[in-house]
Amino acid sequence: MRKIAVVNMKGGVGKTTTAIHLAAGLAARGARVLLIDLDPQGNVAHALHLRAGRTIDELLMGLAEPADAIVPRIRDRLDAILSHPSAFSLERRLAGETQRETILSRRLRGVNGYDVVVLDSSPAMNLLTYNALLFANQVVVPVGMDLMAIIGARQTLKGIEEIRDLWPERGLKILAVLPTFVNAATNATRAALETLTADPHMGPFLLQPGIRQCIDLNYATANHQTIWEYAPRSRAAVDYTRFIDFVEKGRNDGRQETTC
């Protein structure tokens, strides 16, 4: 089973957007996918207009079984475990647990029937993010085209290094550093892509041209739809399709003609 965590210590870089489109895109192509929101802000539920009786909070506390927390068929072949602001205090409530960084892995041990699990995360190296990274076998790091997003990505890679040192048997791999909010006409984008390309830790994983800036992504979210449902001819739809091609087949052919 592929387990892909979407992480960056910086907020607002497109983590939730990427996690939703990664999960929905792979499900649309026939994979059975579970999308898990590990950010207490609960944005996956907001974006897709979903409600759950039991959330990641109860699952991690051992108060709900996976079957109770899974919201089935939010799209064909796509299930979800949602989050809620109650999860902000999980760190404190799980303080007494042994091996609390691997609680998610243990709680999901009996869950099968999925080809891919996609994990959305919060912009912090907190207990929930550690749990995401210790459950995952691959990481996608979305990076906005500004200095703070790049710093957040560097901090993320440091955190991943730390995890590799502490748990070498986990075999956590970086799948892609994904540029987001790309606008080739601006100096900010050019400078950010140059910095990312030159970075010895991120350059080798940089997936160009990434996801272009596209207002339709905001409208899609406001309508609780994916970009393929809301604006299938938009540049974001094309770019996320190319990203899914890469994740599915390791192919990145750089197609790039459309409107937004």
Ligand X SMILES: Nc1ncnc2c1ncn2[C@@H]1O[C@H](COP(=O)(O)OP(=O)(O)O)[C@@H](O)[C@H]1O
Q: Which stretch binds ligand X (CB under 6 A): 51-59, 71-79, 159-167, 212-220?
A: 212-220
Alpha-carbon span 173 to 205, nearest angstrom: 10
How far apart CA 18 and CA 140 sit, in angstroms, is 9
Which of 163, 175, 214, 237 binds ligand X (CB under 6 A)? It is: 214
Task: Confirm or reject binding of residue 16 to ligand X (CB under 6 A).
Answer: yes
Q: Is 13 in the site for ligand X (CB under 6 A)?
A: yes
From ligand X, Mg ion, none, interface partner of 17 (C-beta below 5 to 8 A by class): ligand X
- Which stretch in 129-137, 151-159, 208-216, 226-234 sits in contact with ligand X by CB under 6 A? 208-216
Residue 43 interacting with ligand X (CB under 6 A): yes
Closest CA to 27 of 77, 80, 79, 82: 77
Tokens of 95: 């303080």
**Residues 153-192: x/- map of binding to ligand X (CB under 6 A)?**
---------------------------xx-----------
Can you say whether residue 234 is alpha, beta or left, with left for phi > 0 and alpha for psi between -120 and 50 degrees?
Answer: beta
Which segment (8-16, 92-100, 105-113, 225-233) binds ligand X by CB under 6 A? 8-16
| Separation between Cα atoms, residue 70 and residue 50, nearest integer Å | 12
- Per CB under 6 A, does 211 bind ligand X? yes
